[in-house]
Structure 1
Amino acid sequence: MDIAELIDALDREGRLLADAAQQAGPDAQVPTCPDWRVRDLLAHVGMVHRWVTRILTEGLTEMVRPQPGQEPEDTDLTPWFRDGHGALVKALNEADPEGRYFTILPTSHSPLAFWARRQAHETAIHRVDAESALGKDLSPVAPAFAADGLGELLTGFHATERSKVRTETPRTLRLRATDAEVVWTVRLSDAPPRAEAGDAGDADCELSGSAEELYLTLWNRLPMARLRATGDTSLAELWRERSGF
């Protein structure tokens, strides 16, 4: 997906998140993040949005930490979130496409493309949290956006030392979307997972479902039972138990 498409997705997902949070109320529990209530969700995402806005508008190239604890009281929390979300969309639209900015992961994309992608998916996953707190049906995720997010998860977060999805005996997990031409082969070992696009050789376990189901399940927002599993299903359980960040 290109930068403009990702910014559009961020804009849409942030609005949906705010709407769901406002309807649920700040004290509502978030089933997908059991330790959180909606106020915690808004505080977290609002903080991240403001942090990335600062990186872009100040042209920061070195690490600067987010600043928690800046959120207002409950009555002003959703408007505060909306303001920060709008500022981030504006900052991404106005940032220099060739600019050098700090990023939290190594990337082959431009820093601006990295942040447009990261914030679109950060906000989409937490929008699911807000809608889960509301108890309503989840807003749909377009296959192309879900496929992009699945790729980011596998080649970004789980390619780093932070990933705990590891096995003493090397195993191979296949992920296959049923509504898009998306297949990933994920090689598991005692090192971080190595994901490669395509159907690369035999797999010990295959998980299949729509791109949306794969995206949200591998981000632990849907139960693993939503996917069809064949082969050694213990690898599905391994992912569920160890893939959280």
Structure 2
Amino acid sequence: MQLIEQNYARMRETATRDLTAAYLDRAMAELRGELTPRKPEEKALTWYDPDQTVGFWARRMSLEAVAHRVDAELAAGEPVMPIPADLAVDGIDEILVTFLAFASRQWPEDFGDGLAGADGRAVSISVGTDRRLVRPAASGVEVSRDDSTAEASISGAPQDVLLWLWGRGDGAGLTFDGDPELVKRLRYLLKEATQ
């Protein structure tokens, strides 16, 4: 809840209209009212079959608040404030596992032609020693933490990687190696996963 509160406060700072600020205040009060009295392990319906808990929503809202805080900063021409490294790493995991891997297998039709030509060649995504292997295939995307060889790689600081995965950064500060077509396909699949 503390992370949601911090990101809310930053969005509130960048709100330029009284109506926007009032809307943020009301929405934050409602969210606080839903999450605060509940335990993370308490049952709650979600669209992500493997996790049907209040904790899913607390995580989801924390990461959603980060993404929209960054949107507000960019729209207002403000500098993007730092995202705590542990939260960014968790966000990387969420977008790859929950939004990309799960959704591509659950709703493959939402990914257009992005999966059609995918052949299982891997893209490695690394943040320090934390590495994930992303393998797009016609049947969906698989994300793992194995040490297999990848045909392309993306690496950088947690915040830079998270923002690139969410389409909120041009990749400055990241290192891209290997087959650029695989990175391009991943970028397309991520766009479809996060719409």
Q: TM-score, normalised by structure 2?
A: 0.86
1:185 aligned partner: 133
Counterpart AA for 1:190: A
Is residue 35–residue 54 contact of structure 2 (8 Å, CA) maintained in 1?
A: yes
Among the aligned pairs, what percent are the same residue? Answer: 24
1:215 aligned partner: 162
- How far off its partner does 1:86 sit? 2.7
The question of 1:136 aligning with 2:130 is answered no
1:201 aligned partner: 148
2:69 aligned partner: 127
RMSD over aligned CA atoms reads 1.8
Is residue 168–residue 189 contact of structure 1 (8 Å, CA) maintained in 2?
A: yes
Deviation digits for residues 74-133 of structure 1 (CA, Å, limit 9, x no counterpart): x4232121121133123211114443211121234x611100000001111011100000
Q: 1:169–1:98: structure 2 CA closer, same or farther, 3 Å change rule?
A: closer
Is residue 224–residue 236 contact of structure 1 (8 Å, CA) maintained in 2?
A: no
Is residue 42–residue 53 contact of structure 2 (8 Å, CA) maintained in 1?
A: yes
Q: Distance in 2 between matches of 1:16 and 1:152?
A: 22
Paired residues for 1:93-242 under 5 Å: 93-108=36-51, 111-159=53-101, 160-161=103-104, 162=107, 164=111, 165-166=114-115, 167-178=117-128, 181-197=129-145, 199-242=146-189
Partner secondary structure for residue 147 of structure 1: helix
- How far off its partner does 1:202 sit? 0.6
Residues matched between the structures, number: 184
Q: Distance in 2 between matches of 1:186 and 1:145?
A: 20
Q: TM-score, normalised by structure 1?
A: 0.69
Q: Distance in 2 between matches of 1:91 and 1:195?
A: 32
Unaligned runs of at least 5 residues, structure 1: 1-6, 26-74
Unaligned runs of at least 5 residues, structure 2: none
Q: Which runs of 4+ in 1 moved over 4 A?
A: none
Q: Distance in 1 between matches of 2:183 and 2:171?
A: 7
Q: Distance in 2 between matches of 1:227 and 1:241?
A: 18
1:81 aligned partner: 24
- How far off its partner does 1:235 sit? 1.7
